Amino acid sequence: MSTESFSNDINKVLPTGEDLGGASTGGDLEGAKATFAAIFDMDGTLIDNTPFHFLAWALLFKEHGLPELSRETYKGEISGIPIANTVRRYFADADEATIASIAHQKQMFYQREFLPYLKAISGLEDFLAELKNAGVKMAVATSSDMADVDFIFDAVPIGQYFDAIITGDMVQEPKPSPLIFLKAAELLDTPPARCVVFEDSAAGLQAGNSAGMKVVGITTSHPAEKINQVASLAINNYAGIHLHMLAALFDHEHE
């Protein structure tokens, strides 16, 4: 991948700052008492970095002489899956030491090239503060490892909002298995049926549903039309979503 081509790809995915909040606006739920917990994926859900992970994988494929990686393949086969699992799939003859080395190389591509562009998805910090002030317990449940979580939270300081962080190496099976979300619910001391998951990847959306949780899909990886088929709500960012909208997802159970 040439430097010029790489620069062009970066320019195509840089955030424009356009407010694309998919949920209608409304005030906070006056006097609301938190009766549910919120669980967030990280990449593409808290942080607007999915395009940059794609480009890092594309650089890795190019470096190792693999066929050019399409965005469709990335969304369907790589996004939301632990890095080592993906490396094993595409480097089937590699031993574990080589797999670890290639996975590290991918992360170095990502961290070196894309750190200056990392940012929280629009409206996120205000939304997290609203939930925190209402007493909503919150967790991060990510397929990434803790080193990557630390990297992200150093760049975008939002770690103070979360009561628990669950990484991919803390559970036996990756998404689309529901285990990581069930572990989050356990740590938050909240029944799965009283949890809402925020996700962007197909594997994560499936995992949230399999866990028996409400699912809010964010359109960084898939269009709203596709997300609406498997989620309770689809949003483009957090600028127009509020506490009372999440409470309504659970209220509908009793209608």
pLDDT tens track for 39-54:
999 999 999 888 888 9
The CATH code that applies to domain 20-49+120-254 is 3.40.50.1000
Question: pTM of the predicted model, to two decimals?
Answer: 0.80
Residue type, 200: D
Mean pLDDT value of segment 53-69: 95
Confidence of residue 221 (pLDDT cuts 50, 70, 90): confident
pLDDT at 125 over 70: yes
135 pLDDT band, cuts 50/70/90, is very high
3-class SS at 229?
coil
Q: Which has the closest alpha carbon to 54: 64, 44, 63?
A: 44
Query: What's the rounded Cα separation, in Å, for the pair 77 and 14?
Result: 23
**CATH number listed for the domain at residues 51-116:** 1.10.150
Query: Tokens 């269009």 map to which residue?
Result: 223
Residues 129 and 106: their CA atoms lie apart, in Å, by 33
- 221, 5 contact by CB (below 8 A): no
| 232 three-state secondary structure | coil
Q: Are 131 and 38 in contact (CB under 8 A)?
A: yes
Mean pLDDT calculated for residue range 133-137: 97
Amino acid at residue number 224: A
Instruction: Show the beta-strand stretches assigned E in 157-206.
Output: 164-167, 195-199
Most confident by average pLDDT, 19-23, 115-119, 146-150: 146-150
Region at 232 (left for phi over 0; alpha for psi -120 to 50; beta for the rest): alpha
Instruction: Report yes or no: 181 and 203 within 8 Å, Cβ to Cβ.
Output: no
CB neighbour list of residue 175: distance below 8 Å, 6 or more residues apart: 80, 81, 143, 201, 203, 204, 206, 207
Say if CB 37 and CB 194 are below 8 A apart: yes
pLDDT band at 253 (very low <50, low <70, confident <90, very high): low
pLDDT of 160 above 80: yes
Q: Taking the domains of the chain in order of start, what are their residue ranges? A: 20-49+120-254, 51-116
